[in-house]
Amino acid sequence: MKQLLQGNYAVAEAVRLARVQVVAAYPITPQTPIYEKLSDMELEGKLTGVMMRTESEHSAMAACIAASLTGVRTFTATASQGLALMHEMLHFASGNRVPIVMCNVNRVVAVPWAFGSDQSDSLSQRDTGWMQFYCEDAQEALDTVIQAYKIAEQSLFPVIVAIDGFFTSHFMEPIEIPDQATVDAFLPPFSIPTRFNIEDPAFISNVVSPEQYMAYRERSFADMEKTRPIIREANREYQEIVGRGYDAVQAVDTEGAEIVLVTSGAMTSTARVAIESLRAKGYKAGLLKIKAFRPFPTEEVQEALKNVPKVAVLDRNISLGKEGIFCHELKSALYPLERRPTVTGYIAGICGADVSPEMIEDMVIEALKQDKPTDLPVWVRRETWLQKR
């Protein structure tokens, strides 16, 4: 059924359809409508599980970990400072291999204090051992949350589904909501071994020797590598049953392109308009959307860009002292190639600053003129862009 919904509500619908048994969360802008909608659903008896209204995000994650260990399907949602406060527990979740699914609504991290979209909050959780999927719009967010349960439960790794604050979380658009029977056909009931018996309490997260610790990390690393076919297969099955799907990367018109624009999240959607306009003007421009950030889709990125002479990367995040984080990761993935493209990094849309198709077109045209790779990113703000014009 099609409904006119904001993205936050689409995520709540996905949580309902996944028959989540425990939701533990704390409200924070711009995620709060997910929390509110799930509360409404609980009150109306539409939610399979229960809501735990914890006193902080740190506690919300601790509750999800414990609940998951007792053998139930869990969900939490957060953003920005909330995710930062969870940080310690994120390591506990992946270390204990609990398949929690979390929606992070990307928002800047203070200071200054602000509310706009920025991927820095979730990208700075890169090394916590969580899978991370970045969604282009609310429909993809709904579909990805449902897929994430299957991926998490088959691989025993937790998943962050990241959506852009405001552009995805608050834009109201028509959303196709699958019916319960369809989702049930894709997502079986939660059944992983129960590792915690509440009748017989025990302790986890023991102290180990350096050899034991390193062996555990090595095995976790190998297990994360094994998630790649699981992610592919979950999407293939979802596509078959529900009729929509999203690969770890999506390449549009990259074949024979003289330049490819690499994007993630909601800016991808605007970039599609820019690339179409450039092609109409005769530019051989393509688009590469990166959805999976962890595990990073190295092979898919290499395959899409191996014959492309120039690449522009659009980042809605910044790592001070280096560059945009997707650009950094992309360059590292391209290193083994014999003929590497010239990569130019652009920083735009920080804190949800406006990025129009015309701004993106100009970035691509400028990157096309670059003959040498540059270390530092180019910052593009509407004000300075207008002056340059």
Interface with another protein (CB under 8 A): 4, 30, 115-116, 137, 164, 166-168, 170-174, 266-267, 269-270, 272-273, 352, 354-357
C-beta of 172 vs 214, nearer to another protein: 172
The beta-strand segments (E) located in the chain are 2-6, 22-25, 50-53, 74-78, 101-106, 131-134, 159-164, 172-176, 249-252, 259-263, 285-290, 292-294, 310-315, 342-347, 378-379
Q: Nearest 5°: phi and psi at 77?
A: -140, 145
CA dihedral 121→123→124→127, nearest 10 degrees, is: 140
Query: CB of residue 170 vs another protein: minimum separation in angstroms?
Result: 6
C-beta of 4 vs 222, nearer to another protein: 4
C-beta of 30 vs 158, nearer to another protein: 30
Query: CB of residue 116 vs another protein: minimum separation in angstroms?
Result: 8
Query: CB of residue 276 vs another protein: minimum separation in angstroms?
Result: 9
C-beta of 105 vs 160, nearer to another protein: 105
Q: What is the Cα–Cα distance from 10 to 173, expressed in whole angstroms?
A: 10
C-beta of 237 vs 276, nearer to another protein: 276
Q: Which H or E run contains 63?
A: helix 57-69
196 residue type, one letter: F
Q: What is the Cα–Cα distance from 104 to 162, expressed in whole angstroms?
A: 5
Query: CB of residue 380 vs another protein: minimum separation in angstroms?
Result: 13
Query: CB of residue 165 vs another protein: minimum separation in angstroms?
Result: 8
C-beta of 116 vs 297, nearer to another protein: 116
Query: CB of residue 237 vs another protein: minimum separation in angstroms?
Result: 24
Q: Which H or E run contains 254?
A: none
